[in-house]
Amino acid sequence: MSTAELEIEQLNGIGLDVEKTEELAQHLNNLLANYSVFYQNVRGYHWNVEGDKFFTLHEKFEELYEDLFIKIDEIAERILTLGFNPDHNFTKYLSDSEVPESFEIKEGTRCVEDILSALKILLSKQRTILNLSDLIDDEGTNALMSDYIREQEKMVWMYSAFLKEPDI
């Protein structure tokens, strides 16, 4: 077998190095775990929030969990595109996730604080993946992470603004 044939054999179906994409897929699976726990937390916030900001937060939490649902699917499909299998059970998600599972949160401010904390974790993980995908010339993953980061940085600004006390 020639050197060129050996090099081609080391590439996955989309032309990326198999060994390097395996590491990337592991990071993406970890991100998937964090997104999955975060998604379920936000569903809980949506269902259980109470108080004077109910109508505003109930709607915002629904928008957020619908967006997270789409991202979960995109991340899993990206792992498959790279030639690996996405994790799919909650036992693994809970053991791997740095986003902690929320329990019976009803107070809106606390829910928003938890969302900001989770976004901080996701942004850090996505920047790591962005750097890794850039190193291996994986434009697909790179574009996905770049889009997520841009959207979530704006969310951080907006949710943070919600928490600020109004000037009197």
Q: What is the pLDDT of residues 31-72, one digit of tens each?
A: 999 999 999 999 999 999 999 999 999 999 999 999 999 999
Query: Which residue, chain included where needed, has tokens 């920047």?
Result: 127
- Residue 55 is predicted with a pLDDT of 96
pLDDT band at 26 (very low <50, low <70, confident <90, very high): very high
Task: Name the packing angle between helices 54-81 and 139-163 (round to 10°).
Answer: 170
Contact in structure between 4 and 65 (CB atoms under 8 Å): no
SS3 17: strand
Q: In this structure, what are the phi and psi dihedrals at residue 136, rounded to the nearest 5 degrees?
A: -105, 15
pTM of the model: 0.93
Does 99 reside within a domain? yes
Return d(Cα 149, Cα 146) in angstroms, integer.
5
pLDDT digits (tens, 9 = 90+) for 136-157: 999 999 999 999 999 999 999 9
Return d(Cα 136, Cα 118) in angstroms, integer.
27
Does 3 reside within a domain? no
Q: In this structure, what are the phi and psi dihedrals at residue 95, rounded to the nearest 5 degrees?
A: -75, -30
Which amino acid does the sequence have at 64? Answer: L
Does 27 reside within a domain? yes
**What residue numbers bound the domain in which 86 lies?**
15-163
CATH code (residue 149): 1.20.1260.10
Does 120 reside within a domain? yes
Does 5 reside within a domain? no
Does 111 reside within a domain? yes
Count of domains in the chain? 1
pLDDT of 6 strictly over 70 = no
Does 9 reside within a domain? no
Does 8 reside within a domain? no
- Please spell the DSSP secondary structure of 46-90, one letter per residue: HHH-BSTTHHHHHHHHHHHHHHHHHHHHHHHHHHHHTT------H
